[in-house]
Amino acid sequence: MSVESETSSSSGSKSFPGRFSSLVASLNSIGTAWIFALMVLINVDVLARYLFNAPIQGVAEIVELSIVGIVFLQISDAVRAGRLTRSDGMYRQILARRPKLGYWLGVVFDVAGALFFVTILLGALPRLVEAYERDYFAGNVGLFTVPVWPIRLILVIGCIVVAIQFLVLAWRNLQALGSLEGVAE
């Protein structure tokens, strides 16, 4: 797929793959900025403990919740870039030797990945609603509390985006498979 076809359409605006790729990159950038902010917070907390014997309340809770948020902000970009941990040595050999089989396996793997994240989504949605309606929080009342529903919302958004990303990859495998029609294997 050419860069032009991915980023623009005949009307001059970005196509779905181009806009979606921008969304995925944006979520990844937000996750990266969040990591930087956590590093600053942790270092300020350490300095405050050491220099003034006054730690910042809630740093442990913020870090704990942030890890989940960061993972689900960045996982779709890892899938898009092919950096998600997997063993694909055999898959690459199959793709090189028997492209049709390889692309079919790619479709199966990508659809399975989408279904996996849809399953997580189905479990996360009721927990998001419950956390929002019941005002769940992390921390200790009187010292530091933080609501958990924003992190659960990020988890839901991340599951939706990564499931769509897997479907985009499955579609690309189907297109590659279609371009091989009539080619002997």
What are the pLDDT digits (tens) for 43-62?
Answer: 999 999 999 999 999 999 99
- Give the mean model confidence (pLDDT) for residues 133-141: 95
Distance between CA atoms of residues 104 and 180, nearest Å:
11
Instruction: Give the per-residue pLDDT at 7.
Output: 44
Q: What is the pLDDT of residues 76-134, one digit of tens each?
A: 999 999 888 777 788 889 999 999 999 999 999 999 999 999 999 999 999 999 999 99
- Nearest C-alpha neighbor of 114 from the set 122, 103, 125: 122
Q: What is the pLDDT of residues 153-173, one digit of tens each?
A: 999 999 999 999 999 999 999
Instruction: Give the per-residue pLDDT at 2.
Output: 39
Instruction: Give the per-residue pLDDT at 83.
Output: 86
3-class secondary-structure state, position 140 = strand
Q: What is the gyration radius of the CA atoms in the chain, in angstroms?
A: 21
- Give the mean model confidence (pLDDT) for residues 131-138: 97
Output the CA–CA distances (angstroms, integers) from residue 57 to 34, 51, 82, in the order listed: 18, 16, 39
Instruction: Give the per-residue pLDDT at 17.
Output: 83
